[in-house]
Homo-oligomer: A and B are copies of this chain.
Amino acid sequence: MLSKLGRLLIGRSLKTTELKSEKFNVLWGLPVLSSDAISSVAYAGEEILWVLIPVLGIMSYKYMFYSALCVVFLMIMVTLSYRQTIDAYPQGGGSYIVAKDNLGTVSGLVAGASLTIGYILTVAVSTSAGTAAIISAIPFLSPHRVTITLFFIFIITIGNLRGIRESSKVFGTPTYIFMAVILCMIIVGIFKVKVFGYVPKPVYKIPEVVSNITLLLFIRAFSSGCTALTGIEAVSNGIPSFKEPSQKNARIVLELLALVVLIIFGGVSYLSTLYHTVPNTEVTVIAQLASQIFGHNIMFYLVQITTTIILIMASNTAFTGLPLLLAFIAKDGFAPRQFAKRGKRLGYSNGIVILCIISSILVIIFNGETHSLMPLYAVGVFISFTLSQAGMFKRWVKLKNTGWRHKAVINGIGAIVTFATAVILGITKFLQGAWIVFILIPAVVYIMVEINRHYKKVAQQLKLAVNERPKEIDFTKQKRYVIVPIDTLNRSFLKALNYARTISNNIIVFHVSIDDEATARLLSKWHEYDIGIPIVVKKSAYRSVVGPLVKFIESEEYAAGSKDTVTVVLPQFVVTRWWGNILHNQTALFIKTMLLRRRNIAIVTVPYIIFEDNEECLKK
């Protein structure tokens, strides 16, 4: 039943040979890879106002605009830096790869850990912001915030398990509509005030305060706005997805992306200063602007819908990014190997599922108001920026190919600027949650290193020595010790006993007595049965079946020497429906798990199948 449901949701399995992904041209590469970056304008301006409004009141709008300018400057620097990464890593240069390549394993792992945390938070933050956009338009949905957000995460997860990457047009179109709608809003909004002399009516009360701007406050506002930069690295990760000439196309897309973000972020910030928006938990800044500029008509709803869609799609960036990153890390042996395994539909499904689970938990814990996660998110992103830029800087200095000085300067400045921002974010947001990042990243790196140590050790212990050959064994001369545990004398046991007799004539039937009465019944049956196979009964004071069995195998009374392998044949009846397993003591499974920890043992499981219909059973 479960597997049917799975197939319905995820689709039929795909062959490995069907692995090919659509290649993007510039036109469709831009919207697909930019949704994360572009969507951040939906909250970056708002983040700045959250910092300023409570302190500066009406004065905030002036400094908001200055903060936005600083963010724009930072974005230009980062874009220039990433252009060079695209040139240097045609196979895709995520921070993990660039840092590991140039700065060493630990730096790579730090970048990997930051990115992992960043991706997880992207999903939580973006889907929550998407829900916020819906709630701004349809306020009575407010109590269902968490449910709606989880629904979005679920949909994206299913989509990614199916493999939605193929459909760039499905993804690209809403991004273009969003761009168009927001551009339209910016133009109309500016005209309305500047040309037609509209005087915006304040909808929300701006606190009356007389504080003045301080450097610290400005820095805090700026650092809050830095969330606008998140997602900009997606292009350099995605180079292999571009049509040839892929690097050139990627570069063009990166530049266009920066331009679009710049116009939209700058425009929306400017509108905020004109229309005096006040951030609150019920109505987003974008929604406030749209309702003042367009009124509550079709355009307003179009803005809200496209904002929602683009935010949801932004979380999709993480769903393509994180599983790929984890697969890279797993292939290097620093993450559980399962992450490197392709699922039924060829996606790295384990990574997708883990991302779904962790981000859902975050949404539940934070009750769908992930505003408070923003600091964690931004710090992680800027740490990975810094490592990537620093890696590139070192690369140029080492390689010293033509024009290396120029390139080193650009990446060097990029590294310094992003490092400075990371430090600013870390300090200004420390108490608001950034401290968690400084615990999480080392913890994740430690786990990754330990995982690697484990894999190395396993490989070492499994490796065959030179010329290590199997033993020469004449199986006819083997003395095989076989134990068949018995609980009740039934068909399942009989089948196991029959099998045991095909491999040995040295069989002992072993019974652990937990209930005297049941044992007496069994023994009387067994003696009546009389087939010349000895039965050994041991009492178990603690009601454990495994303990006495292990003790017996080790004991003197049992003939096997310490070098002999003892075979334990376990009858196991198998129910055909999944829920059937809930109804039976999984004793066989438990015995197996415990016995597996011993060296000189082989465990044979002989299945006896129980059919749901007795008729079905008779047919077979």
Contacts and interface: CB of A to CB of B under 8 A. Distances in A.
A470 B490 contact: no
Interface in A566-620: 567, 569, 572-576, 580, 582-585, 592, 595-599, 601-612, 614, 617, 620
A294 interface: no
Q: Is the interface of A mostly helix, strand, loop or mixed?
A: mixed
A413 interface: no
A610 B458 contact: yes
A77 interface: no
A418 interface: no
A16 B541 contact: yes
A34 B439 CA distance: 50
Interface in A487-541: 488-492, 494, 497-499, 501-505, 514, 529, 531, 541
B337 A584 contact: yes
Interface in A335-372: 336-338, 341-342, 344
* A-side interface size class: 35 or more
B464 A489 contact: yes
A140 interface: no
A576 B609 CA distance: 32
Interface in A465-499: 468-471, 473, 475-476, 478, 480, 488-492, 494, 497-499
Given A455-B583, A542-B16, A583-B455, A501 B462 contact: no
A80 interface: no
A542 B583 contact: no
A402 interface: no
Nearest to A341: B585
A580 B471 CA distance: 30
A596 B607 contact: yes
Contacts of A461: 491, 610-611, 614, 617
A297 interface: no
B475 A503 contact: yes
A468 B454 contact: no
B475 A502 contact: yes
A460 interface: yes
Contacts of A597: 574, 576, 607, 609
A463 interface: yes
Interface string A251-287: 0000000000000000000000000000000000000
A17 interface: yes
Interface of A: 13-17, 336-338, 341-342, 344, 451, 454-455, 457-458, 460-464, 468-471, 473, 475-476, 478, 480, 488-492, 494, 497-499, 501-505, 514, 529, 531, 541-544, 565, 567, 569, 572-576, 580, 582-585, 592, 595-599, 601-612, 614, 617, 620
Nearest first, the 9 closest Cβ-Cβ pairs linking A and B are A462-B490, A15-B541, A473-B501, A596-B607, A13-B542, A603-B605, A478-B502, A604-B604, A336-B583
24 contacts: A15-B541, A16-B514, A344-B542, A451-B583, A462-B490, A462-B492, A464-B490, A464-B491, A469-B529, A469-B531, A470-B497, A470-B498, A473-B502, A475-B501, A475-B505, A480-B502, A503-B503, A572-B596, A596-B607, A597-B609, A602-B604, A602-B606, A603-B607, A604-B605
